[in-house]
Structure 1
Amino acid sequence: MNATLTLVPTLAPAAPVAPVAVPTVLFVESRRATFTDHVLDRDDVNVVLLRFDSVPLTEEYVRRTAHVPTFTLNTSAPLEDEAARYLRWVKGTPALPRPRFFCNPNEALQADAQRFAQLVDLPHLSQEQVGWVRDKTTMKDRYAELGIPHARYRAVTTKQDVVAFGEESGWPVILKPIDADSCIGTYRLDTPADVAGVPDLDPKLRWMAEEYIKGQEFQLCAVVTRGVVLDAYLSKNPVPILEVLDGKINANITYAPSEEIPVDARELAQRLTDGLGIPHGYLHGEFFLKEDGSFVMSEVAARLSGCEVPMNHGLAYGFDFLHVILDTYLDRVPHPRYTNDRAVGDLLLPTRPGRVTHISSAQELLRLPGVIGAHLTAAVGDVLDPPRASHASTGYVHVEGATAAEVEERMHAVLRHFELTVAETGEGPAS
């Protein structure tokens, strides 16, 4: 069980002290809107946005952030030239506090964002570290150096390579792009015939074949400051994430602080932090416990977890998790104080292609046992074309319970109640 961190009161200073300068952070925009909004709402930090012109943004978001100092990076220009232009921009804007801290929650931009931070003399991960937390084969090479159990794997370029790996290592086999997320382009292949049935491997992407691990999947999140894990938080997935592509329950459930958990979460997080040289911020990992209880590390990232996992942790433990996360990027040592002892999870609501003719309302879902929040992203009249990805949904609900098992039971009740009716595009409403 995770130990509770408490805030230790201190005596007031005997004499006045000079005011502490407000720090300024260069913050990379990403699709993690909840975290971005939190950062922009804080009054104890100045924010300068680093906007990559390759990242699509909504008109509403651009209008809402128009007042925030923003440097838009031209991705078609050499990164060194853009770094020099940024430094001129900062120097030529006297009213702009120069950023001394850096935060990148954007997984896809990890390599360029960290390299840019290095070029403008901000805290950053080295390109070697970026490989460890972004490139799935380099990541597992590092696991091997650290003695961390992991699935067998091999880089592949053709379907024949995949079949050869399966014949040598056994079936099933997982096929995935090396730098993808959300299960995009990921397949479980049970036989050579299944390999023939998947799309040809896109030569613009790098691919890998991996041993299939049968067992319970977990997600590990940790807050790291100055190389030390302050605390770690464990979630379980009711089914392995890849199985949600087949329509199974899509959820993450944070264990209650008082629950017994199957691993020493903080020790595992510290081992990963040490091995990857993570200086601060959010460490996110996934692992399996096989049916015989043995441990297999899956993947790790130096950025916020997906879906609503960070919010689950804050709701379960009763503290402002997003506030604590940003503090670590500002070289602070936060002392989170926990006020809740419950399990909380986010359940992604089902989706399917077509025009929505009926969908359960948030008000309906909030009346169900344990539901403490509901957010729908689809409405009657919307045309849905969900991607083959683990984040595809029509919204989500937050569900609480005394234990993770109770939360899972309540989530299944939500799924039994939830209704989504769609018509083929171009048809009239369902009768």
Structure 2
Amino acid sequence: MSERPVLLLVDGWPLSFCRHVIRRDDVDLVLLRFAAHRALFPDSYLDETAHLPAFWVRDDVPLAEEVARYHDMTARIGRRPTFFCNPSEPAQEIAHDFARRAGLPHLTEQQVRWVRNKAAMKDRFRELGLATADHRVVATTAEVKEFGRSHGWPVVVKPVDSFACIDTFLVRDDRDVDRLDLAPARSWMVEEYVGGQEWENCALVLDGAVLDVWPSAMPARPLSIVDGAINANISLGSGEGPDVDLRGLTQRIVTGMGLDHGYLHMEFFVDRGRVLVGEVGLRLAGCEIPANHGHAYGFDVFAATLDVYLGRRPDLAYRSRRCVGDLLLPLPESGRVNHITGEEELLAMPGVIEAVLRHGPGDVVTARRMSHNSAGYAHVAGESAEEVERRMRQVLDRFRIDIEPVGPPAVAAR
């Protein structure tokens, strides 16, 4: 058996954090993958990780049997994980159920509901004395109309387990409601639209204590992003941030939900001096938000995150203070890429410190209505959020992607 820590890592798709962990030589890994998510794995990534033991959970077999098969595999390879990390939002329920059955650190079923089910989450916020949007679980458009008429338009309609704004809609009036399709197979909710400025906050938690917090500004709200607004997040290592006790607010949630360790990501609003908590997740933030914090504060954010999942106090000695954001490059339609602005051209622009393209000429791409839909991303640095946003808009003015239709018109996922 290895003397190094052995981690069971939920591998949902090629996240930057996962790529960091698989390159580490001081921890042994077993990857946990779900057959139902196979389409998310590019063949190139499977080749890149082929040297690591991976356990695929079949979706047509009882989970107890899969856990027994997992124990057989880890005994056979002499690598028994004692630590567990799930960076994936959609895998929360099954991943933590698997970890519980396997005898690994995990969230309880109630904790998973608090950090995954947005209606239960907001109910818990209220129990903790925190302000949040009025909301209601609904099953019909008539219930949405009733809520909108009593609370005022617009309202937001979403599945209780949505993420990345998938199937999330801003509904302005009765006519908008009539265009909704509330699939009965999912649980839906409606909530009041909150004004003011929306912010993000990330934190690392160890032994139930918030170690530090990193706020982010958003040039545009997620619901505007899916309709074509600038898609970016800016980590505020310098300059002005929200006038909120973020460490205290985050600790209140961590304590109230009994969260022991992990990476926490949350969204909140400041409206005329009033703070309203939006949502919270105990997993890595989406897009390249964690990397923003590393660039902004001058530390290895992924190493620090791995540390808390291994029960170790991370090194949070910051070597710089600046603002750095991730600008997601537009992917406006589905089809075949004929031309795309190259990484070298992007890197030559003011403030751009990193540029990554997910697609190149000849690739067939699919545009989707989700907040992380993109052709790639650029990390942009500056002394203030305003300077970063200005430089991001210059990048958008320069960036070009030419896509031609392939076959019948592609249907973008809602």
The aligned counterpart of 2:412 is: none
Amino acid at match of 1:67: H
The aligned counterpart of 1:51 is: 33
Is 1:38 aligned to residue 38 of structure 2?
no
Amino acid at match of 2:145: V
Amino acid at match of 1:317: Y
Amino acid at match of 1:387: R
Is 1:343 aligned to residue 323 of structure 2?
yes
- Counterparts of 1:419 and 1:62 in 2: how far apart (Å)? 30
Q: How does 1:190-269 map to 2 (within 5 A)?
A: 190-198=172-180, 200-257=181-238, 259-269=240-250
The aligned counterpart of 1:136 is: 118
Is 1:412 aligned to residue 362 of structure 2?
no
The aligned counterpart of 1:72 is: 56
Amino acid at match of 2:379: H
The structure-2 alpha-carbon separation of the partners of 1:426 and 1:46, relative to structure 1 and needing over 3 Å to count, comes to: closer
- Counterparts of 2:302 and 2:57 in 1: how far apart (Å)? 26
Compare 383-392 and 256-265 and name the one that shifted more: 256-265
The aligned counterpart of 2:130 is: 148
- Counterparts of 2:281 and 2:367 in 1: how far apart (Å)? 25
The aligned counterpart of 2:90 is: 108
- Counterparts of 2:232 and 2:337 in 1: how far apart (Å)? 23
How far is the alpha carbon of 1:32 from its aligned partner? 4.6
How far is the alpha carbon of 1:296 from its aligned partner? 1.1
- Counterparts of 1:106 and 1:375 in 2: how far apart (Å)? 21
- Counterparts of 1:78 and 1:426 in 2: how far apart (Å)? 40
Amino acid at match of 2:277: M
The aligned counterpart of 1:166 is: 148
Q: Is the 8 A contact 1:352 1:384 kept in 2?
A: no
Amino acid at match of 2:351: G
Is 1:274 aligned to residue 262 of structure 2?
no
Compare 32-41 and 102-111 and name the one that shifted more: 32-41
Name the larger-Rg structure: 1
Amino acid at match of 1:54: A
Q: Percent identity?
A: 47
How far is the alpha carbon of 1:378 from its aligned partner? 2.8
Structure 2 length-normalised TM? 0.94
The structure-2 alpha-carbon separation of the partners of 1:149 and 1:32, relative to structure 1 and needing over 3 Å to count, comes to: farther
Q: Cα deviations across residues 378-398 of structure 1 (Å, max 9, x unaligned)?
A: 333334430111111111110
How far is the alpha carbon of 1:54 from its aligned partner? 1.3
Q: Is the 8 A contact 1:215 1:288 kept in 2?
A: yes
How far is the alpha carbon of 1:80 from its aligned partner? 1.7
- Counterparts of 2:359 and 2:3 in 1: how far apart (Å)? 44
The structure-2 alpha-carbon separation of the partners of 1:295 and 1:424, relative to structure 1 and needing over 3 Å to count, comes to: same
How far is the alpha carbon of 1:267 from its aligned partner? 1.7
Aligned residues between the structures: 404
Q: Cα deviations across residues 119-153 of structure 1 (Å, max 9, x unaligned)?
A: 11111110000000000111011011101110011
Question: Helix, strand or coil: the match of 2:133?
Answer: coil
The aligned counterpart of 2:312 is: 332
Q: Cα deviations across residues 34-72 of structure 1 (Å, max 9, x unaligned)?
A: 111111111111111112111222222222222212222
Q: Which runs of 5+ in 2 are unaligned?
A: 409-414
Question: Helix, strand or coil: the match of 2:36?
Answer: coil
Compare 20-29 and 318-327 and name the one that shifted more: 20-29
The aligned counterpart of 1:83 is: 67
- Counterparts of 1:357 and 1:216 in 2: how far apart (Å)? 38
Question: Helix, strand or coil: the match of 2:226?
Answer: helix
Compare 351-360 and 125-134 and name the one that shifted more: 351-360
Q: Which runs of 5+ in 1 are unaligned?
A: 1-19
Amino acid at match of 2:300: D
Amino acid at match of 2:52: V
- Counterparts of 1:157 and 1:257 in 2: how far apart (Å)? 45
The aligned counterpart of 2:278 is: 298
Residue among 81, 95, 98 paired with 2:80? 98
Question: Helix, strand or coil: the match of 1:238?
Answer: coil
Question: Helix, strand or coil: the match of 1:296?
Answer: strand
- Counterparts of 2:327 and 2:213 in 1: how far apart (Å)? 21
Question: Helix, strand or coil: the match of 1:375?
Answer: strand
- Counterparts of 2:386 and 2:209 in 1: how far apart (Å)? 31
Compare 75-84 and 109-118 and name the one that shifted more: 75-84
Q: Is the 8 A contact 1:32 1:105 kept in 2?
A: no
How far is the alpha carbon of 1:90 from its aligned partner? 2.6
Amino acid at match of 1:164: E
Question: Helix, strand or coil: the match of 1:68?
Answer: coil
The aligned counterpart of 1:119 is: 101
Q: Is the 8 A contact 2:14 2:45 kept in 1?
A: no
Amino acid at match of 2:58: N
- Counterparts of 1:331 and 1:269 in 2: how far apart (Å)? 20
Residue among 373, 385, 389 paired with 2:366? 385
How far is the alpha carbon of 1:400 from its aligned partner? 0.1
Q: Is the 8 A contact 1:221 1:305 kept in 2?
A: yes
Compare 346-355 and 399-408 and name the one that shifted more: 346-355
Question: Helix, strand or coil: the match of 1:246?
Answer: coil
The aligned counterpart of 2:339 is: 358
- Counterparts of 1:352 and 1:258 in 2: how far apart (Å)? 32
Question: Helix, strand or coil: the match of 1:300?
Answer: strand
Q: Is the 8 A contact 2:352 2:381 kept in 1?
A: yes
Question: Helix, strand or coil: the match of 2:393?
Answer: helix
Q: Cα deviations across residues 220-267 of structure 1 (Å, max 9, x unaligned)?
A: 100111111111100011111110122111100000246454222222
- The CA RMSD over aligned residues, in Å, is 1.7
- Counterparts of 1:21 and 1:46 in 2: how far apart (Å)? 9
How far is the alpha carbon of 1:77 from its aligned partner? 1.4
- Counterparts of 1:357 and 1:32 in 2: how far apart (Å)? 25
Question: Helix, strand or coil: the match of 1:55?
Answer: helix
The structure-2 alpha-carbon separation of the partners of 1:268 and 1:241, relative to structure 1 and needing over 3 Å to count, comes to: same
How far is the alpha carbon of 1:406 from its aligned partner? 1.1
How far is the alpha carbon of 1:89 from its aligned partner? 2.8
- Counterparts of 2:268 and 2:398 in 1: how far apart (Å)? 31
- Counterparts of 1:337 and 1:256 in 2: how far apart (Å)? 13
Structure 1 length-normalised TM? 0.90
The aligned counterpart of 2:354 is: 373
- Counterparts of 1:216 and 1:135 in 2: how far apart (Å)? 24
Q: Is the 8 A contact 1:101 1:122 kept in 2?
A: yes
- Counterparts of 1:50 and 1:425 in 2: how far apart (Å)? 35
